[in-house]
Structure formats: structure tokens, C-alpha cells
Structure 1
């Protein structure tokens, strides 16, 4: 059975409607704030923005990443990330308008969403992946899980995907598969504008030499963390040696270069790495140019 619901949106500043908004299910006490870095001071002035909170800082870079955090002082804690973390472009924070979040609530929600995002295409920026749940008694657990379910729905309503891919067997559209160039063992498909690294593909740890790149090891640190995240979350299993692993599920990305780097252990031009992908792009560009010339 399919259900439908309503989410209310409020724009505190109509001049910045795309970068600052409040959203809430009218039947729930959970209130969400969406904001970009430039709008963070305005969030502090909004009602309930300094309550206990769970929050998410997102990167819109080539490789999507997220930091999951908690705060007893709402937006005040997030403001400190302007100085300490520069990877993110926008944040989403959740509080309750009746103070029903307490320290235990936000601790559990932080744990819950670290585990949830570990199973998605997002690379986690958290250093502590919270492998063990906090001590929650059975009487509180159902309430906290209900909070988590409501927050996950609101995140999805804001365009944050938790389901990595749509099952291609349910689609009548023929799916084209692109193989990695030798010696790599991996396959990619394009679906709904996303680049899907297919189950069975071999991923590998970043090469040791990437530690000494001019980026001060950023590439190495990011991809070693992503490699471990996929294994720890059960999305991949270690292969013949501990430097490689095989995907157990399809994983989607926003560009072809990120899965190419994940499969090769070094930076790659994804359009070239996947055989036939660049040709497909060029053909589509030529077709679009032709249609434009024809006035279609």
C-alpha cells in the first residue's frame, strides 16, 4: 500500500529561497532547517534552532560525502565547523519544536544515520563510524526509531537518496553497461542520470604512492575511508587479498570518475576509464547540437 503525506515549507528570506528554508511534516514535532554556509548566521535567529539537534553536512563535490553530527546547542555547534571542516557546501539540521529530543535521542540518531549513510553512495566524513549502538532501553527504542524514520523521510524529501539504485529488472528500458579498461574488473551503467557501479565489480585501496601527492594525502585518506566503509557496512567483501574487495550490491555515484578511482586506487578520468562512455557522451552532444540547429 502506498501512502502520501504533506511537508510544509517556510522561507525566512525570499531573496535566498534556495539556500535557506524550514520544513516540517504538520503531524510531527520534528522541524528541519536547510541552509548553505553563507546563511548559517540567519539560522541562529530562527525559532528552535538552538535546541538539541542531529545534523548533516553535505558536500556537492564530484564525490558526494556527508558528516553526521549531534549538538546540544543546535546551530551553535555547526558554526564551529566553518573553521574546522571546509568540505561541505550545505547542511540540514533537525530539532523538535517541543524539546522532545534529549542527549540520548541525538546520540542514538547520530549512530543510526552513520550506519544508514554507510550503506549509500555517500562517503562518510566522520572519523568515528560508531560501530556499537548507544545503550537504549527497549521502551525508548521504538520512539527513537520513529524519530529516525521521520527524519529519513524528510531528508529524502530534500533530495537526499538512501536507496542506492532502482532495480533495473523493474525497468523496460534497455540498460547499457560499460566495462572498465584492463586490467581492472568492474562494470558501470547509467540510470536516471546517475553512474551505477555494478555488483561484482572489484574495488581496491588507494595506491600507497597517493599518500605523497601534492594534495597532502587527501585523496588517499578519502578513498581508504570509503573502501573501509563499504566493507564495514556489508556492501563489499574482501577479495583475494586485503587490498581489494568485491561489491555485493550496486552503488550509485554522481560522476563516472569517482567509481573509476575507487576501482583503480588512483585518480582517473571516468569518461576514458569506462570503455565506450566518452563515445556515448560525444554522440549525445552531437545529437543535441543537431536538434538545436534544427530548432527542435
Structure 2
């Protein structure tokens, strides 16, 4: 008879509400996981005896289905989320993995954050707000310990129902062309489900009168081809973007969710076509 390996995950439900704040621990591990819905942040900050150092994910999720994610580090514990609540509007839930300072050194924290960012940028079919992977110094004596800690974090995410490896496949016969139309601007493009990239097609109109946020990365850089002339410009050739949202930001300016902005001729959003639970 094979040996049965068991891990005991303990989940505390604050105010006995399963969909609100949750504190999760695993027997034999010092790491504390805290699930913080955006609307419960004030209450979460008042929780006693929560460690301050670790990494976290900001999620745009619906019943475990993650459509957008951001990974970062904190030395302030849950209070770190205050800045993100003020500046990042996409997330509705934060998952934090926290421990005491003596268990996660400062340099190990930098490496752990880099591991987390690299993972969300190279896995799954969700979008990520992390535009680049940090490259901190890796102490060869700590590298294995950091890797084990990252694996424990991935295990806990999966156990809580947030699979960072999930890849969505679009249905057969999915529309070839999607459109976005807002304030008289009309763009057209194609989504590649294999790469997750979105190509804005030549002839699309680009709204130069609406600024692109400074952290929009590639979308802002691509707009430089128009010399910031203002008004509306027409795209002369196809341009490929790493995500549907980057493509939508390029066309419309501001902050955009490409999964809902790009719509088929039948009126279905990119999200409905490629991420519907019916597919």
C-alpha cells in the first residue's frame, strides 16, 4: 500500500463569512495566507498578529476565474494594499503570503517577488499588470529555500481555488475579428489564443486626444509613432500587443480592460468568447 501524504490547511473565516476575509495556515509552516476582498481592506488591517513581510497577488477574479493579476512584495503587511486601492482599480481581491522578518530576509524577499512576477508573466492565460521581471542578486545559499517557498505559495493558491497555471482555449469557430468603439473611435483586431497577443489592424482609428497612463508601457511607446499630434489618427499597418488590454489602451487611451472592450460582430466580448464557463 502506497503512503498517503497529507497536508492540513486551516482556514479561519472572519465574521464567519466564507466570501470575506480568510486567514489560512498549514501545519508545520510559519507562512500566513490572508485573503482580502477589496471592500474589506479596512477591517483586514485591524487583524491582530499578522506578519508584515512577504508577497501578494492582486486579482481581478470571479469565482476563482482570474482574468488579471499583479504580483508585488510588502514589508508593511496588509497596510501595503492602501496604495493599490488608491491607484489600481482593476482588482477585487488580494491574496497575501506573510511571515516574520527572521524567516524571510530582505534579499530573499526581493528574489521571491521576482519569482512570483516571472511566474505570472509566463504562465496562465490571464493578463498581468507586471510589465517587467526584476533581476535581484540571488544568494546561491538561499536560492533553493526561496524556490521551496514559492512552491508553497503556488500550492496554497491552488488549494484556495486560484490556479495560476490555468490556460483558456477559445471555442471552435471563434470570431476572427473583434472591434472596439467609444467616443467615435473604432478599432479592429485579432486575438491569438496560443500566445495571448492581440493585433490591432491597419485602418483602425486611434484616439490621441485621450492620454495613455504613464504605466501603460508598450501601448504608450507605440503611440509615439504618431508624434503626439493630438486628435484622431489612422493606423497605417498592423501592430501586435502582448495583451488585449494593451491594445485597447493604444486605441482608446486611458485605462482599459481589453477583455470587455473588444467585441465581436455578434456583440460578444472577448471575455465571453474565450473565457465563458460554457466553453
TM-score band, normalised by the shorter chain?
0.5 to 0.7
* Mapping 1:81-96, distance limit 5 Å: 81-96=84-99
TM-superposed deviation, 1:112: 0.6
For residue 111 of structure 1, the aligned residue among 96, 111, 114 is 114
The reply on whether 1:64 has 2:67 as its aligned counterpart is: yes
Superposed displacement of residue 55, structure 1: 1.1
Asked if the contact 1:31–1:95 (Cα under 8 Å) also holds between the matched residues in 2, the reply is yes
In the alignment, is residue 52 of structure 1 matched against residue 56 of structure 2? no
- 8 Å CA contact retained: 1:50, 1:76: no
Name 2:232's counterpart in structure 1.
Answer: none
Q: Paired residue for 1:269, among 263, 275, 278?
A: 263
Uncovered stretches (5+) of structure 1, i.e. residues with no partner: 169-174, 188-196, 228-240, 252-257, 285-296
Q: Distance in 2 between matches of 1:49 and 1:206?
A: 50
Partner SS state of residue 266, structure 2: helix
Distance in 2 (CA, whole Å) between partners of 1:27 and 1:206 is: 54
The answer as to whether partners of 1:36 and 1:89 remain within 8 angstroms in 2 is: yes
Aligned partner of 2:176 in structure 1 is 181
Aligned-residue offset at 1:30: 1.1
**Matches of 1:38 and 1:21, distance apart in 2:** 13
Please state whether the residue corresponding to 2:27 is helix, strand or coil. Answer: coil
Residue in structure 2 matched with residue 125 of structure 1 by the alignment: 129
Deviations 1:190-209 (A, max 9, x none): xxxxxxx2x37873258774
CA distance in 1, matches of 2:76, 2:238: 42
Deviation at 1:98, TM superposition (A): 7.6
Per-residue CA shift, 1:70-116, capped at 9, x if unaligned?
A: 11111122222222222211101111258402212221121111110
How many Å separate the matches in 2 of 1:211 and 1:6?
A: 53
- Superposed CA RMSD: 4.3
Structure 1 position 102 matched with structure 2 position 105: yes
Distance 1:7 1:211, change over 3 A: farther
Q: Which has the higher helix share?
A: 1
Separation in 1 of the partners of 2:82 and 2:156?
22
Decide whether the 8 Å contact of 1:52 with 1:72 is kept in 2: yes
Measure how far apart 1:186 and its partner are: 6.0
* Superposed CA offset, 1:114-149 (max 9, x none): 11001222222234x1253x1122110010000000
TM-score under structure 2 normalisation?
0.65
